[in-house]
Amino acid sequence: MPLLRDYTAEHERVINLGADAIRALDAGDTTAAQRFTGRLATQLRSHWRGEEDGIFAALLNNDDIFAAHIEPLIAEHRSLDQFLTVVDLTRSDHRDRLRAEVDGLQEHIAKEEDSLFPASLSALGGHEWDAAISAWQRAHPGEQLLES
């Protein structure tokens, strides 16, 4: 499924940006770390919008059973977004939290890729996939899904 492939590629990009930010922190370069963190925030915001307005909405409309899995993921999105809005890596508590958040992204992504995405393959029909793809496109103006 091209959409799931693209979500996974986005996950890889945010993990790499988070790792770049942590490496910059480890090197004592807070300016570079802040720049990588800004890029991370930008990537995550478009990714979250695509997920939430697309596949998450389609799954929630399809079956209430998904709410118990999706609502905590959305709460994690909101919490991290709030932090990324105010992050100041000259502060030690923010550096510590960034490290924890980057570590937590792995677990968050695993919940999506190992559970929710596979479930979506059998739960959603063609019109729901079309709506999810349209939501991804609205969240990524000027971009196209990756070529097969």
Q: Count of CB atoms within 10 A of residue 117's CB? A: 17
How much is the average pLDDT of 44-67? 93
Mean pLDDT score of the chain: 94
List of long-range contacts for 9-17, beta carbons under 8 Å, 24+ apart: 9/146, 10/43, 10/47, 10/50, 11/47, 11/109, 11/112, 11/113, 13/43, 14/40, 14/43, 14/44, 14/47, 14/105, 15/102, 15/105, 15/106, 15/109, 17/43
CA distance 146 to 148: 6
Question: With bands split at pLDDT 50, 70 and 90, how would you rate the model's confidence at 143?
Answer: confident
Q: What is the pTM of this model?
A: 0.92
pLDDT at 147: 64
Instruction: Write down the pLDDT at residue 69.
Output: 93
